[in-house]
Structure 1
Amino acid sequence: MSSLPPSSRPALSGLLVGLALALGCHGGGGGGGEGGPGGGGGGPPQGMPPPAVTVVTLHAGPVMLTRELPGRTNPFLVAEVRPQVNGIVEKRLFTEGGVVKAGQPLYQLDDSTYRAEHASAQAQLERAQATLTQQELNAKRAGELARMGSISTAEHERAEATFRQAQADVKAAQAAVQRTAVTLSYARIVSPISGRIGKSSVTQGALVTANQPQALATVQQLDPIYVDLTQSSAELLELRKAVAAGTLERADSAPVTVLLEDGSRYSHQGKLAFSDVTVDPGTGSYSLRVQVPNPDNVLLPGMYVRALVGNGVREQGLLVPQQGVARDPKGDATALVVNKEGKVEPRVVKASRTVGDKWLVDSGLVDGDRVIVEGLQKVQPGMPVQATEAASAPAEAQGGPPAGPAAGPGAGRGAAAAGRGAGPDAGTGGGAPAAAPTGK
């Protein structure tokens, strides 16, 4: 680097001395200014009012804890339509993909043989009834003759036995008529349940056999519909421990929210219908079944969904907005609280999970604490502030420090405020429990 000419050195030295004196006078009269705490430490510039901040007062109350579980949809009822008699398909009586009612005819088979068998059974019944009438008269005559002594007791007993046999023949003939009537009715195949029917596997003219392996069609009831979820056995064990310790109360009757494949929430809430009693040894998970209304058939069998299932209720839960919690330079999760003296007080907090857009606090904050959620870039610990209660819980995180004269000795807290803008919120992407401030 080239040196300055000797003739210019005195002038430059005088300029530097003047500049130093000017800066010294400016710094000595302010007592800290906005750039730093000055000699008093943590207060606003002299003559300036305390900065205004927005706070949220915490109130302990019941908090429903949910867990997001994967699952698949399954029909509420499924019926595979199969023939119960042999025959040729004469007609298909439904529209593929349409809605059918229980008992609605689906196929008509050739029933000429079954009609003939039914007619023959009816004729046999009439014959048996005629024989019964004749045997009844014979038994009555035999009884009268036996009382008069005209016939022996043995002949009378034979007449009575023949009459009872005729009665049995009538009953057998009646059963045959009923059997052939049922067989004839099977020639018209009906839907066993109400629901939506799929495509037909046979056409007109096809030969079908009784109880064949291949179903003619499948009917599925989709309203309501089942959502079968899986949960790890480790999560189940953790839940049971929390319930046993008294930190949670079971909430089996809590509604279940279904999340569709595109991430949107399904308009109808479900309820827990079944919880498996065994754990799959291959996956280490067990099954939960949720019943969900499906009046518009939005959910179809086989769809992949996720569900928010209530695990329990924390009776004295504290929820703090996410923008009120950040990490300090050491990596600890902190919140700024306005204490009873109206000054800013930092708190190290522990939060295990999110509930909506809020952190569920485990420790570090108590009921009644006033947590700063807006104006974080204007304050630092120990500074008096003017606190205003938020009208409603803010929906979005506080941004970074605004542009302006915020650099100086207070830049350390400014960096922390910047961390609040992209702290837990940015790390969680919507509040996943895995990115909680405690790093649980």
Structure 2
Amino acid sequence: MRTTPLLRPVAALAILSVLSACGKPPGGPPPAAGTPVLGVMTVRTEPVELHTELPGRTSPYQIADVRPQVNGIVKARNFREGSDVKAGQVLYQINPASYQAAYDSSVAALAKAEASVKTARLKASRYKELVAIKAVSQQDYDDAVASLGEAEADVGSARANVQTSRINLDYAKVDAPISGRIGKSSVTPGALVTASQTTALTTIQQLDPIYVDVTQSSTSWLNLKEALANGELQKSGNGAKVRLILENGRTYAQEGTLQFSDVTVNQDTGAITLRAVFPNPKADLLPGMYVRAVLQEGVRQQGLLVPQQAVSRDGAGKPVAFVVNAQGVVEQRALVTDRAIGDKWLVSSGLKEGDQLVVDGQQSAKPGAKVKVVPWSPKATVASAGTASGTN
């Protein structure tokens, strides 16, 4: 069937009307052919708690080398190596025979001296009455008083000897000076020990709590101090909390507290020592273990965290990112990043709150180019083509 010339314009108008209706999607007109589509996020500030990870080693809370304070033969060892001991517990018994004899002798000498004082006191009292009636000379009375003084001094000396001999007798029992885990013994029963020996009989270490000593460069310490002073950071809580990462990569279950920082910088390494204390009820931490301590530095109230995938590097290796301005035009920003926190960068400068940061589709982002943006989320990405076609 042929179409008459009069119907042809009408059919053409109908076809154009249908095509025009198809080209008006609900969301507005489509972008021009070839316009890049970029996934963006709105930059927001938030409080960011900053941490630093530092290497360190564990050290005992208290440590005591046990040494003899008298000479003698060890008669007994009263502990099991590697066990826990209490302060005051008898660890070794040194033969006390000679010290017991010295103590008994000093007690007897004290009794003799006290008896001499009684005699000298009575004589001095009698001479005092006699010298008053000129029955004895003044010299005799003075000698009696002097003898009383000497006798009283002998009593004092004898008492000191008793005390000394009692101490030596007590030292024959070698007690634990602190509570803690005791190490191996360097002597066995029958060994001769001396008060002047340099070798310890054993060592006791208190493991609960336990210290962790870490090192931080003096430059980092100064930067942190300045950030706290000028308000960039605020202290979090009353005491800085510390977490531990063990040698096997596991995070230690107990949280510690920073105790102090040393006042001297190591001239060889340019670092200072920080000391934290951790509870260690199960003795999971042993002295000398290598650990990594995660310390709280403070809180940055206006922190800017952006996904690491949104930041790239320019030819000089400096961090840059793309943002889309209000006119839908791409801009390149030079950034200053402070550190990585998880899968994000903490940005110090180059971005501000409200910026539309390009996170997905950077390969299609060119400074000055007009683009279309869609909200970005970690679970969604822009189509791999990165452009919008002009078709339905």
**TM-score by structure 1 length?**
0.70
SS where residue 192 of structure 1 aligns?
coil
Counterparts of 1:168 and 1:104, CA distance in 2: 37
Counterparts of 2:133 and 2:386, CA distance in 1: 137
**TM-score by structure 2 length?**
0.78
Task: Say yes or no: does 1:161 pair with 2:146.
Answer: yes
CA offset at residue 298 of structure 1? 1.2
Residue 89 and residue 165 in structure 1: after superposition, are their counterparts in 2 closer, same or farther (change >3 A)? same
Counterparts of 1:174 and 1:301, CA distance in 2: 45
Q: CA offsets, 1:30-49, max 9 Å, x none? A: 699xxx94349468xxxxxx
Contact 1:347/1:364, CA 8 A, preserved across alignment:
no
Contact 2:64/2:205, CA 8 A, preserved across alignment:
yes
From 253, 260, 270, the counterpart of 2:246: 260
**RMSD, aligned α-carbons:** 3.8
CA offset at residue 114 of structure 1? 0.3
Counterparts of 1:153 and 1:134, CA distance in 2: 19
Task: Say yes or no: does 1:383 pair with 2:369.
Answer: no
Task: Say yes or no: does 1:364 pair with 2:342.
Answer: no
Residue 408 and residue 302 in structure 1: after superposition, are their counterparts in 2 closer, same or farther (change >3 A)? closer
Residue 107 and residue 72 in structure 1: after superposition, are their counterparts in 2 closer, same or farther (change >3 A)? same
Can you give the 5+ residue segments of structure 2 that lack an aligned partner in the other structure?
Answer: 1-18
Question: 2:372 corresponds to which letter in structure 1?
Answer: M
Map 1:1-400 onto structure 2 (within 5 A). 37-39=31-33, 41=35, 58-61=44-47, 63-240=48-225, 242=227, 247-248=232-233, 253-322=239-308, 325-327=310-312, 333-334=320-321, 348=333, 349-368=335-354, 382-383=371-372, 385=374, 398=379
Counterparts of 1:87 and 1:328, CA distance in 2: 75
Task: Say yes or no: does 1:407 pair with 2:385.
Answer: yes
Counterparts of 1:119 and 1:315, CA distance in 2: 75
Identity %: 46
Instruction: Number of aligned residue pairs: give it.
Output: 359
Contact 1:31/1:40, CA 8 A, preserved across alignment:
no
CA offset at residue 182 of structure 1? 0.1
Q: CA offsets, 1:253-305, max 9 Å, x none? A: 32122211122222222233232333333333332222222222111111011
Residue 194 and residue 335 in structure 1: after superposition, are their counterparts in 2 closer, same or farther (change >3 A)? farther
Residue 233 and residue 246 in structure 1: after superposition, are their counterparts in 2 closer, same or farther (change >3 A)? same
CA offset at residue 198 of structure 1? 0.3
Question: 2:261 corresponds to which letter in structure 1?
Answer: S
Question: 1:115 corresponds to which letter in structure 2?
Answer: Q
Counterparts of 2:218 and 2:151, CA distance in 1: 68
Can you give the 5+ residue segments of structure 1 that lack an aligned partner in the other structure?
Answer: 1-25, 44-50, 391-396, 412-440
CA offset at residue 184 of structure 1? 0.3
Contact 1:56/1:372, CA 8 A, preserved across alignment:
no
SS where residue 256 of structure 1 aligns?
strand
Residue 191 and residue 370 in structure 1: after superposition, are their counterparts in 2 closer, same or farther (change >3 A)? farther
Counterparts of 2:325 and 2:72, CA distance in 1: 85
Counterparts of 2:387 and 2:151, CA distance in 1: 116
Question: 1:101 corresponds to which letter in structure 2?
Answer: K
Counterparts of 1:277 and 1:328, CA distance in 2: 40
